[in-house]
Structure 1
Amino acid sequence: MDQKYKQAEPDSIEKAKPHMIVEIIEYVPNAIVMKNIIKKPTGNISIMSFDSGEGLTEKTVPFDSFVQIIEGNAEIVIDRVSNQLKSGQGIVIPAHLSSFIRPNGRFKMIQTIIKSGYE
């Protein structure tokens, strides 16, 4: 699981316009691509695509985050407990618990991080 991030351009999507979320980001060979939907000091919503074999290494963050798989499936490990998520499923990753994401082939997800209330 290599951390090869690529930032999609532009960095946010057009407001007040409907979007087919799964189609606003593409797969890039051997990479993770991230595009911010909303980015604010109090939190952000991002969409990410993961090529086969790409995932996120173990980390601990000081904020809750919500992850929803929107295409494909992935294993999300929280505090050493494995959770197999498929398209349409989501999970809250609690603040201060270690987590990592392991792919099961290509997949796309939305991640929402809420920072307010943790100051």
Structure 2
Amino acid sequence: MEQKIEKATVMAANDLISYAEGGIVSKEFIHSKAGSITLFAFDAGQKLSEHTAPYDALVQVIDGEAEIMIAGRLYHPKAGQMLIIPQNALHAVNAAQRFKMMLTMIRG
């Protein structure tokens, strides 16, 4: 059973979301008109097709290694690393191996 996300509590982001075989799991834990913070767990072979967002997005990898294509350039952030996807940039996310990430989007 997944842990409930409580305010004013120290937690390990990696423990708050679990992998699902053959799928992508997402858990949004902060959402407001100013933006959102969402945890994702991608099983190997899963992906998000190319899309854009109207604001910058901060990806923080918390387990494994991601493959993120931004405007035709491929990046491989690993656990403990982060990457900012620029506003309106065409991007895609691929899981060559399973990985978890935290996505922070702040509307400008």
Q: Deviations over 1:38-85 (max 9, x none)?
A: 111110011100011111110011110000110000111100011111
Instruction: State yes or no: 1:49 paired with 2:20.
Output: no
Instruction: State yes or no: 1:14 paired with 2:6.
Output: yes
Q: Is the 8 A contact 1:13 1:36 kept in 2?
A: no
Where in structure 2 are there 5+ consecutive unaligned residues?
Answer: none
Q: Is the 8 A contact 1:44 1:113 kept in 2?
A: yes
The count of residues paired between Structure 1 and Structure 2 equals 107
Query: Runs of 4 or more off by more than 4 Å in structure 1?
Result: none
TM-score, length-scaled by structure 1? 0.85
Q: Deviations over 1:85-113 (max 9, x none)?
A: 11111100001110001112110000000
Distance 2:81 2:8 in 1: 26
User: Which residue of structure 2 lines up, in the alignment, with residue 89 of structure 1?
Assistant: 81
TM-score, length-scaled by structure 2? 0.93
Q: Is the 8 A contact 1:56 1:100 kept in 2?
A: yes
Distance 1:45 1:27 in 2: 18
Shift of 1:20: 1.2
Q: Which amino acid in the other structure matches residue 39 of structure 1?
A: H
Q: Percent identity?
A: 38
RMSD: 1.5
User: Which residue of structure 2 lines up, in the alignment, with residue 103 of structure 1?
Assistant: 95
Instruction: State yes or no: 1:60 paired with 2:24.
Output: no
Distance 1:42 1:102 in 2: 27
Q: Which amino acid in the other structure matches residue 101 of structure 1?
A: V
* Partner SS state of residue 27, structure 2: strand
